[in-house]
Every structure is written in C-alpha cells, then in structure tokens.
Amino acid sequence: MSVYFGKYCNNIKNNDLNIGYMVKITICFNNAFVIREQKYLGPVAEHIWCKILEKNNNYLVVLVSNDSYFSTGNLNSPLKYGDKLKIKLHNIRIYKNPNSKEQEKLKEELIKFLQELPITEKEYIKTLPESEKCYYIQNLFSKKSKK
C-alpha cells in the first residue's frame, strides 16, 4: 500500500466528538512525491487537520482543512482544502473543539501577530501561491511562539 492513515491507541469514543470538531490525522506515504520539487522523497508521514462533517458508528466523514504537500506520484493530486475523507476513530491523533476559549485566544494572538508583521513580510506573503500562504504564516507564528 503506497498511502494509508496512521493508527493510534487514543481511547477516543464516538460520543467525545461532535460535528464541527477538528481532528488531526496522519497520512503515511511509502514513497511520497513532493509536488513543488517534482521528486520522490521516500517514506513520509504528514499530519493534517480536518473538520468533522458526519458521524457514524463505524466511521467519520471529515473535510480536509489544509493543502497537502505530498502525493503518491506526479499524476496524482495531493489532498487539498475541501476534500472529504472517511476515517475511523483510531485514525485520530488528537481532536479539539474549535469553539473553545483556547481557540479564541489563539485566533486573537494570530490576528495581532499578522497585524504587527513588517510591511515587507506582508508584501512577500501576498506574492506566495494560495496553497503556501497558510504554511508560511504557520511557520512564522510557531517560531515566534517558541521564543
């Protein structure tokens, strides 16, 4: 199998989750193809956030909330924002309620961070392709948060 979902011993129960919650899953590639560089990288695990759209006793339907950087080959598109996946509970690495106070605080910090960026940085971000803007901002923000 060239691509599969990671499995976790997470003790998550179906009633722990609600429609609209965010779940982080892992997509494992035996030989990931890097779209931007047009080359194979070998084994890679990519973690992506997804929003729960539907719940069933056996599975969840989730909406991919960010673009993937890898695919299984140059003829296959990577996952992108808006794609839907069917996963099982053991595929969930972590989950969170996006309406929580913690999320609100993070959103406020991110807005403040973006407002305080130097104009040159803002201009550079505007030049990036849509698929790379969030990744770039996320990296900037995480570097600032670690200081």
Show the 3-state SS of 90-117: HHEEEEECCCCHHHHHHHHHHHHHHHCC
114 in the same domain as 48: no
119 in the same domain as 84: no
80 in the same domain as 54: yes
Tens digit of each residue's pLDDT (9 = 90 or more) over 23-70: 999 999 999 999 888 999 999 999 999 999 999 988 999 999 988 889
78 in the same domain as 32: yes
8 A C-beta contact, residue 113 and residue 143:
no
Tens digit of each residue's pLDDT (9 = 90 or more) over 23-36: 999 999 999 999 88
Domain tally for the chain? Answer: 2
116 in the same domain as 62: no
130 in the same domain as 60: no
Would the pTM count as exceeding 0.85?
no
92 in the same domain as 24: yes
Domain that holds residue 46: 3-96
Going by C-alpha positions, the residue among 86, 78, 66 that lies closest to residue 41 is 78
131 in the same domain as 110: yes
80 in the same domain as 105: no
Measured CA to CA, the distance from residue 79 to residue 41 in angstroms comes to 17
113 in the same domain as 89: no
Tens digit of each residue's pLDDT (9 = 90 or more) over 73-102: 888 888 999 999 999 999 999 998 877 777
